[in-house]
Amino acid sequence: MTSARPWIHDIVLDPPAINNNTADADRLAHALKIKLGIRPHISLALLKRLPRQLRDGGFHVRCIAFKHDDAWTLLGVTRPVDAAPAAVAVDLGTTRVVCRLVSLITGDRLHEIAFDNPQLQIGPDILERIHCADLAGGLNRLNELIVHSLNQAFERLAQACAISRADIYLISLAGNTAMTHLLLGLPPRWMIREPYIPVSNTPGFLPAADVGLDVAPAAGIRIFPNVGSYFGGDLIAGILHCGMHTAEDVTILVDVGTNAEVVVGNRHWLVACAGAAGPALEGGVTQMGMMAAPGVIDRVKIDPVSRRFFLHTIGNAPPIGICGSGLIDLAAQLFLAGMLDLRGKLSPATCGERLIAIDGMHALVVDETGKLLISQADFDSLIRSKAAMYTILETIVQTVGITFDDLATFFVGGTFGSFIRPESAIAIGMLPDLPLSTYRPLGNSSLEGATQILRSSADADQIDAIRDNITYIELNVNQDFMNRFSAAKFIPHTDADRFPTVKAVHRQT
């Protein structure tokens, strides 16, 4: 059943009479069973309010109900004239959290807010938080931080739309496995210890109150399922959003957030892996500083002849730093201008005055004030990152027995996907040399996927099947892998023929 409002059911009940005197809940459940095919579950929180709600509405009521795992749960009952019921889609990121208020009647996006994950104060990365969760009171503290901030966000969303938090009946949440565990108060201890075991990959559909979320009393929260410790619900939401699980052609989805996760496949099969699989890659694709803010350089152009720099900053403010996409642009342009060599080293011969030495290490002066420096170490780190990325991509396509050319579409998700220019990523050999039209940025695919199940029961029905259909492969960091990784640490690659468009441009310089 897919409709504009799959979770809303307006019901006109026969009022009680001496010859029709079943209980309130049984009367409503019977009417809903006729409509839904199954008697819905009605929680105690809802039962307590039901007599008042049925009578206030003259037994003409609007029911909010959600289907999960072939079972329906009643989330609330209102009068049709009451404030319109709403839902929230949550992208629970390690760094940023985005909450989007959606009308359950129209499916419209009503409002959206984003905020830093307050667990950043405990630790910027997942590992630190998991270690903290092991300390006495640590898990509780991490849990309370995120729950409290979500409640605040729900309050702000409600106020912005002149509704009440109690008008929020459904929450759809996609996050990585660790963030999901911390939200639910589940100990993540075993996720980071071999063999990397989460508490649950399928928390499913829970009472929002059990999670501490203060919305409608019988509201529910649908948690996107995880494949494993390193492939979370945010990716399942991304797959749902890009639709690769329904396509006949083989496509690939790469999401680079805190980690790099890759899934390749079509409607018949899906194979996934994640970049945190081994120590060789640790930090490999994560240290590119993605934070975008005014003054951060996000685009770079270098004239290959004059070697003059053209810098673009966010908000056109004076440059204060560089973000991931800016750094990739910079490296690509430096390489094409001959200022960065095949090994990713700054070339004294071509960098000229822009090259300085600090503590015996080369650094590049990026801006005209001379204050913004990118060290050789930063470039080395980038080269490792891009090599890791390319090696993961190469490994997964080889594993499934295809080549890059077989990919009909290359979805790039996450913050990375929104800002990166594929031509630059190709130029440094981070992404394969495919036609630019193959690349498609997905934006916040986690949030979009989470939103979809608020609007479509068909989509809601699919997410467990998507998860179950994924074959997760451990990235075996063996000699083969390390050989590929070493080959990918050149710009664009030791085998330049793999990057014909780059080879063509590079020759010209």
CB of 22 to its own copies, least distance (A): 7
Does position 203 interact with its own copies (CB under 8 A)? The reply is yes
Does position 40 interact with its own copies (CB under 8 A)? The reply is no
The bridge status of strand 86-92 relative to strand 96-103 is antiparallel
Which among 471, 413, 470, 460 has a CA at the least distance from the CA of 439?
413
Does position 228 interact with its own copies (CB under 8 A)? The reply is yes
Which among 260, 135, 126, 263 has a CA at the least distance from the CA of 196?
126
Q: Angle at Cα 220 formed by Cα 218 and Cα 226, nearest 5°?
A: 160
Looking at beta carbons only, is 76 or 228 nearer to its own copies?
A: 228
Does position 201 interact with its own copies (CB under 8 A)? The reply is yes
List the one residue from 5, 13, 47, 356 that touches its own copies (CB under 8 A): 47
Residue 340 DSSP label: B
Looking at beta carbons only, is 113 or 199 nearer to its own copies?
A: 199
Run of H or E residues at 472: strand 470-472
Residue 192 DSSP label: G
Span of 118-126, 201-209, 245-253, 301-309 interacting with its own copies by CB under 8 A? 201-209
Looking at beta carbons only, is 15 or 435 nearer to its own copies?
A: 15
Run of H or E residues at 56: helix 44-56
Looking at beta carbons only, is 24 or 448 nearer to its own copies?
A: 24
Does position 259 interact with its own copies (CB under 8 A)? The reply is no
Site size toward its own copies (CB under 8 A) is: 44
Could you tell me if 301 and 310 are in contact, meaning their C-beta atoms sit under 8 angstroms apart? yes
Does position 505 interact with its own copies (CB under 8 A)? The reply is no
User: 33: which residues sit within 8 A by CB, 6+ positions away?
Assistant: 39, 40
**Site string (422-461) toward its own copies, x via CB under 8 A:** ----------------------------------------
Does position 34 interact with its own copies (CB under 8 A)? The reply is no
| Distance in angstroms (rounded) separating the CA atoms of residues 189 and 135 | 10
List the one residue from 84, 206, 342, 365 that touches its own copies (CB under 8 A): 206
| Distance in angstroms (rounded) separating the CA atoms of residues 82 and 307 | 65
List the one residue from 4, 23, 293, 408 that touches its own copies (CB under 8 A): 23
Binding residues among 87-146 for its own copies as defined by CB under 8 A: none
Give residue for tokens 């019977």.
30
Binding residues among 462-481 for its own copies as defined by CB under 8 A: 474
Binding residues among 56-75 for its own copies as defined by CB under 8 A: 71
Looking at beta carbons only, is 70 or 248 nearer to its own copies?
A: 70
| Distance in angstroms (rounded) separating the CA atoms of residues 303 and 112 | 40
**End-to-end distance of the chain based on CA atoms, in angstroms?**
59
Q: Please give the structure tokens belonging to residue 220.
A: 């529910």
Catalog residues that contact its own copies under the rule CB under 8 A.
16-18, 20-26, 29, 42-45, 47-48, 50-52, 71, 184-187, 189-190, 194-203, 206, 210-211, 226, 228-229, 474
